[in-house]
Amino acid sequence: MPVFFCRAMIRAGLILLLIGAGGHCAHGSEPTQTVRNSLGMTFVLIPAGSFMMGSPSDEPFRDQSEKYHKVHLTRPFYMQTTEVTFGQWRALMRSFFGLRWSGPEKMPVTKVSWHDIQKFLKKLNRIGEGHYRLPTEAEWEYTARAGSTTAYAWGDSIDCSMAMFANSRFGAQNCIGKHTELAPDGPATIQSFAPNKWGLHDMHGNVWELVADWFGPYPAVEVSDPLGPSKGTNRVRRGGSWYGAGYLCRSANRAYSHPGTREVTIGFRVVREP
Protein backbone atom coordinates (compact mmCIF):
# COMPACT_ATOMS: atom_id res chain seq x y z
CA MET A 1 0.00 0.00 0.00
CA PRO A 2 1.48 3.45 -0.92
CA VAL A 3 2.79 5.49 1.98
CA PHE A 4 0.61 8.54 1.17
CA PHE A 5 -2.51 6.29 1.31
CA CYS A 6 -1.53 4.93 4.73
CA ARG A 7 -1.09 8.48 6.03
CA ALA A 8 -4.50 9.47 4.68
CA MET A 9 -6.10 6.48 6.41
CA ILE A 10 -4.43 7.40 9.70
CA ARG A 11 -5.69 10.99 9.43
CA ALA A 12 -9.23 9.77 8.72
CA GLY A 13 -9.05 7.43 11.71
CA LEU A 14 -7.95 10.25 13.99
CA ILE A 15 -10.83 12.46 12.80
CA LEU A 16 -13.33 9.68 13.52
CA LEU A 17 -11.76 9.13 16.92
CA LEU A 18 -12.16 12.84 17.76
CA ILE A 19 -15.79 12.82 16.64
CA GLY A 20 -16.49 9.74 18.72
CA ALA A 21 -14.91 11.39 21.74
CA GLY A 22 -17.21 14.41 21.48
CA GLY A 23 -14.64 16.74 19.97
CA HIS A 24 -12.00 16.35 22.71
CA CYS A 25 -8.40 16.93 21.68
CA ALA A 26 -6.15 13.96 21.07
CA HIS A 27 -4.07 14.96 24.13
CA GLY A 28 -7.15 14.33 26.32
CA SER A 29 -7.96 17.99 27.01
CA GLU A 30 -11.53 18.66 28.19
CA PRO A 31 -14.18 20.98 26.71
CA THR A 32 -14.06 24.58 27.91
CA GLN A 33 -15.51 24.70 31.43
CA THR A 34 -17.12 28.13 31.02
CA VAL A 35 -18.38 29.85 27.87
CA ARG A 36 -19.87 33.29 27.28
CA ASN A 37 -21.86 34.48 24.28
CA SER A 38 -22.20 37.91 22.66
CA LEU A 39 -25.26 38.76 24.81
CA GLY A 40 -23.17 38.34 27.96
CA MET A 41 -24.84 35.06 28.94
CA THR A 42 -22.37 32.83 30.83
CA PHE A 43 -22.59 29.04 30.90
CA VAL A 44 -20.79 26.41 32.97
CA LEU A 45 -20.19 22.85 31.79
CA ILE A 46 -22.26 20.32 33.74
CA PRO A 47 -20.92 16.75 33.65
CA ALA A 48 -23.01 13.74 32.81
CA GLY A 49 -24.03 11.75 35.88
CA SER A 50 -26.75 10.04 37.90
CA PHE A 51 -28.83 11.25 40.83
CA MET A 52 -31.97 10.61 42.84
CA MET A 53 -34.68 12.91 41.55
CA GLY A 54 -37.63 13.90 43.72
CA SER A 55 -37.66 13.77 47.50
CA PRO A 56 -37.42 11.04 50.13
CA SER A 57 -40.62 10.26 52.04
CA ASP A 58 -39.39 11.99 55.22
CA GLU A 59 -38.53 15.37 53.64
CA PRO A 60 -40.63 18.15 55.22
CA PHE A 61 -43.19 19.79 52.90
CA ARG A 62 -42.83 16.94 50.41
CA ASP A 63 -45.55 16.67 47.76
CA GLN A 64 -46.82 13.39 46.32
CA SER A 65 -45.70 14.46 42.85
CA GLU A 66 -42.04 14.33 43.99
CA LYS A 67 -41.73 10.56 43.57
CA TYR A 68 -38.17 9.49 44.43
CA HIS A 69 -36.51 7.77 41.47
CA LYS A 70 -33.09 7.38 39.90
CA VAL A 71 -32.19 9.37 36.80
CA HIS A 72 -29.16 9.06 34.53
CA LEU A 73 -28.10 12.04 32.43
CA THR A 74 -25.80 10.54 29.83
CA ARG A 75 -24.54 13.71 28.12
CA PRO A 76 -22.83 16.83 29.50
CA PHE A 77 -24.42 20.22 28.84
CA TYR A 78 -23.83 23.89 29.58
CA MET A 79 -26.21 25.55 32.07
CA GLN A 80 -26.54 29.32 32.27
CA THR A 81 -25.03 30.52 35.54
CA THR A 82 -27.83 33.05 36.15
CA GLU A 83 -31.39 33.65 35.12
CA VAL A 84 -31.86 35.50 31.81
CA THR A 85 -31.87 39.23 32.55
CA PHE A 86 -33.91 42.15 31.22
CA GLY A 87 -30.74 43.40 29.54
CA GLN A 88 -30.15 40.12 27.72
CA TRP A 89 -33.82 39.85 26.76
CA ARG A 90 -33.98 43.38 25.34
CA ALA A 91 -30.68 43.00 23.46
CA LEU A 92 -32.24 40.18 21.46
CA MET A 93 -35.98 40.84 21.44
CA ARG A 94 -36.37 44.64 21.31
CA SER A 95 -37.41 44.70 17.65
CA PHE A 96 -40.08 42.05 18.22
CA PHE A 97 -41.51 42.92 21.61
CA GLY A 98 -40.92 46.65 21.78
CA LEU A 99 -41.19 48.10 25.29
CA ARG A 100 -43.40 45.41 26.81
CA TRP A 101 -40.65 44.30 29.19
CA SER A 102 -38.74 46.99 31.04
CA GLY A 103 -36.53 46.62 34.07
CA PRO A 104 -32.95 47.03 35.30
CA GLU A 105 -30.29 45.46 33.09
CA LYS A 106 -29.16 42.89 35.68
CA MET A 107 -32.59 41.99 37.06
CA PRO A 108 -34.04 38.64 35.94
CA VAL A 109 -36.59 39.12 33.20
CA THR A 110 -40.14 38.25 34.31
CA LYS A 111 -43.65 38.26 32.85
CA VAL A 112 -42.46 36.00 30.05
CA SER A 113 -44.60 33.05 29.01
CA TRP A 114 -43.32 29.67 27.88
CA HIS A 115 -44.33 30.67 24.34
CA ASP A 116 -42.40 33.97 24.61
CA ILE A 117 -39.33 32.00 25.64
CA GLN A 118 -39.57 29.80 22.55
CA LYS A 119 -39.41 32.95 20.40
CA PHE A 120 -36.38 34.14 22.38
CA LEU A 121 -34.65 30.78 21.83
CA LYS A 122 -35.44 30.81 18.12
CA LYS A 123 -33.78 34.21 17.71
CA LEU A 124 -30.86 33.23 19.96
CA ASN A 125 -30.17 30.15 17.85
CA ARG A 126 -30.12 32.26 14.68
CA ILE A 127 -27.05 34.15 15.95
CA GLY A 128 -24.92 31.10 15.20
CA GLU A 129 -23.06 30.89 18.50
CA GLY A 130 -24.39 27.47 19.48
CA HIS A 131 -27.67 25.69 20.06
CA TYR A 132 -29.77 26.84 23.02
CA ARG A 133 -32.89 25.41 24.67
CA LEU A 134 -34.70 25.25 27.97
CA PRO A 135 -33.36 22.65 30.42
CA THR A 136 -35.39 19.53 30.98
CA GLU A 137 -36.89 19.18 34.44
CA ALA A 138 -34.32 16.47 35.24
CA GLU A 139 -31.41 18.65 34.09
CA TRP A 140 -32.73 21.53 36.17
CA GLU A 141 -32.94 19.49 39.38
CA TYR A 142 -29.58 17.83 38.75
CA THR A 143 -27.88 21.23 38.49
CA ALA A 144 -29.81 22.69 41.41
CA ARG A 145 -28.65 19.83 43.62
CA ALA A 146 -25.03 20.09 42.41
CA GLY A 147 -24.28 16.69 43.91
CA SER A 148 -26.31 17.20 47.10
CA THR A 149 -29.05 14.91 48.44
CA THR A 150 -30.50 17.41 50.94
CA ALA A 151 -33.59 19.61 50.57
CA TYR A 152 -31.43 22.51 49.34
CA ALA A 153 -27.98 22.44 47.76
CA TRP A 154 -26.40 23.57 51.05
CA GLY A 155 -28.45 21.48 53.53
CA ASP A 156 -31.93 20.88 54.92
CA SER A 157 -32.87 24.39 56.02
CA ILE A 158 -33.05 27.82 54.42
CA ASP A 159 -32.69 31.36 55.70
CA CYS A 160 -32.73 34.85 54.22
CA SER A 161 -28.96 34.98 53.73
CA MET A 162 -29.01 32.04 51.31
CA ALA A 163 -31.63 32.93 48.71
CA MET A 164 -34.28 35.49 47.74
CA PHE A 165 -37.68 34.37 49.05
CA ALA A 166 -40.46 35.67 51.33
CA ASN A 167 -39.79 39.23 50.15
CA SER A 168 -43.38 40.34 49.54
CA ARG A 169 -45.71 42.49 51.62
CA PHE A 170 -48.58 40.56 50.05
CA GLY A 171 -47.14 37.03 50.19
CA ALA A 172 -44.58 35.42 52.48
CA GLN A 173 -42.88 38.23 54.43
CA ASN A 174 -40.26 36.87 56.78
CA CYS A 175 -37.27 38.14 54.73
CA ILE A 176 -38.48 41.73 54.26
CA GLY A 177 -35.89 44.07 55.80
CA LYS A 178 -33.28 41.34 56.13
CA HIS A 179 -31.86 42.11 52.68
CA THR A 180 -30.96 45.69 53.56
CA GLU A 181 -29.73 46.58 50.08
CA LEU A 182 -32.63 44.92 48.24
CA ALA A 183 -36.11 46.39 47.84
CA PRO A 184 -39.20 44.39 48.89
CA ASP A 185 -41.86 43.12 46.48
CA GLY A 186 -39.49 41.93 43.81
CA PRO A 187 -36.53 39.70 42.97
CA ALA A 188 -32.86 40.44 43.52
CA THR A 189 -30.37 41.36 40.83
CA ILE A 190 -28.46 38.36 39.52
CA GLN A 191 -25.53 37.11 41.60
CA SER A 192 -26.80 38.76 44.78
CA PHE A 193 -26.46 35.40 46.54
CA ALA A 194 -23.63 32.87 46.58
CA PRO A 195 -23.62 30.23 43.83
CA ASN A 196 -23.86 26.50 44.43
CA LYS A 197 -20.71 24.43 44.13
CA TRP A 198 -21.20 24.10 40.36
CA GLY A 199 -21.17 27.89 39.99
CA LEU A 200 -24.92 28.47 39.48
CA HIS A 201 -26.73 31.39 41.12
CA ASP A 202 -30.35 31.51 42.28
CA MET A 203 -31.32 27.91 41.59
CA HIS A 204 -33.21 28.37 44.88
CA GLY A 205 -35.52 31.39 44.97
CA ASN A 206 -35.52 34.75 43.17
CA VAL A 207 -37.85 33.82 40.26
CA TRP A 208 -39.57 30.61 39.25
CA GLU A 209 -37.76 29.09 36.26
CA LEU A 210 -39.72 27.54 33.41
CA VAL A 211 -38.31 24.33 31.96
CA ALA A 212 -39.03 22.31 28.83
CA ASP A 213 -41.32 19.61 30.26
CA TRP A 214 -45.06 19.28 30.45
CA PHE A 215 -46.16 18.69 34.04
CA GLY A 216 -47.07 15.09 34.81
CA PRO A 217 -46.30 12.16 37.12
CA TYR A 218 -42.76 10.87 37.35
CA PRO A 219 -41.97 7.39 36.00
CA ALA A 220 -42.04 4.50 38.45
CA VAL A 221 -38.73 3.11 37.19
CA GLU A 222 -35.12 4.16 36.71
CA VAL A 223 -34.76 6.34 33.58
CA SER A 224 -32.14 7.94 31.35
CA ASP A 225 -32.40 11.46 29.88
CA PRO A 226 -36.13 11.87 30.59
CA LEU A 227 -38.08 14.46 28.60
CA GLY A 228 -41.32 14.41 30.59
CA PRO A 229 -44.78 13.62 29.18
CA SER A 230 -45.32 13.93 25.42
CA LYS A 231 -48.30 16.23 25.94
CA GLY A 232 -50.07 18.12 28.70
CA THR A 233 -51.83 21.28 29.80
CA ASN A 234 -49.21 23.01 31.98
CA ARG A 235 -45.45 23.49 31.80
CA VAL A 236 -43.19 22.83 34.79
CA ARG A 237 -41.57 25.68 36.70
CA ARG A 238 -38.94 25.19 39.37
CA GLY A 239 -37.01 26.84 42.18
CA GLY A 240 -39.47 29.04 44.07
CA SER A 241 -39.46 32.84 43.98
CA TRP A 242 -39.15 36.10 45.90
CA TYR A 243 -42.90 35.99 46.62
CA GLY A 244 -43.27 32.61 48.30
CA ALA A 245 -42.09 30.73 51.35
CA GLY A 246 -38.70 29.07 51.67
CA TYR A 247 -39.95 25.48 51.42
CA LEU A 248 -41.06 26.21 47.83
CA CYS A 249 -37.37 26.67 46.98
CA ARG A 250 -36.48 23.05 47.73
CA SER A 251 -34.54 21.24 44.99
CA ALA A 252 -37.35 18.70 44.54
CA ASN A 253 -40.30 21.10 44.69
CA ARG A 254 -42.48 21.14 41.56
CA ALA A 255 -44.92 23.76 40.32
CA TYR A 256 -46.55 24.46 36.99
CA SER A 257 -48.36 27.08 34.93
CA HIS A 258 -50.14 27.35 31.61
CA PRO A 259 -47.64 28.01 28.77
CA GLY A 260 -49.37 31.32 28.01
CA THR A 261 -49.11 32.64 31.58
CA ARG A 262 -47.05 35.79 32.30
CA GLU A 263 -46.34 36.57 35.96
CA VAL A 264 -43.98 38.84 37.88
CA THR A 265 -42.61 35.79 39.69
CA ILE A 266 -41.68 33.72 36.60
CA GLY A 267 -38.48 33.82 34.55
CA PHE A 268 -36.05 31.27 33.09
CA ARG A 269 -32.47 30.27 32.31
CA VAL A 270 -31.24 28.30 29.31
CA VAL A 271 -28.99 25.41 28.34
CA ARG A 272 -26.35 25.58 25.63
CA GLU A 273 -25.45 22.25 24.08
CA PRO A 274 -21.72 21.41 23.82
Q: Are residues 181 and 50 in the same domain?
A: yes
Q: How far apart are CA 7 and CA 25, in angstroms?
A: 19
The pTM is what?
Answer: 0.87
pLDDT at 103: 82
The CATH number for 174's domain is 3.90.1580.10
pLDDT at 180: 77
Q: How far apart are CA 105 and CA 128, in angstroms?
A: 24
Q: Are residues 41 and 155 in the same domain?
A: yes
How far lies 85's CA from each of 109, 225, 266, in Å? 5, 28, 12
Q: Are residues 233 and 267 in the same domain?
A: yes
Q: Are residues 239 and 128 in the same domain?
A: yes
**What domain range is 187 assigned to?**
32-272
pLDDT at 102: 74
Per-residue model confidence as pLDDT tens digits over 55-93: 999 999 999 999 999 999 999 999 999 999 999 999 999
Per-residue model confidence as pLDDT tens digits over 4-27: 334 444 343 433 333 333 333 334
Q: Are residues 74 and 118 in the same domain?
A: yes
Number of domains forming the structure of the chain:
2
Specify the higher pLDDT residue, 250 or 178.
Answer: 250
Q: Are residues 135 and 263 in the same domain?
A: yes
Q: How far apart are CA 169 and CA 177, in angstroms?
A: 11
Q: Are residues 225 and 137 in the same domain?
A: yes
Q: Are residues 135 and 4 in the same domain?
A: no
Q: Are residues 43 and 86 in the same domain?
A: yes
Q: Are residues 11 and 51 in the same domain?
A: no
111-119 mean pLDDT: 97
Q: How far apart are CA 262 and CA 274, in angstroms?
A: 30
Q: Are residues 181 and 256 in the same domain?
A: yes
Q: How far apart are CA 274 and CA 263, in angstroms?
A: 31
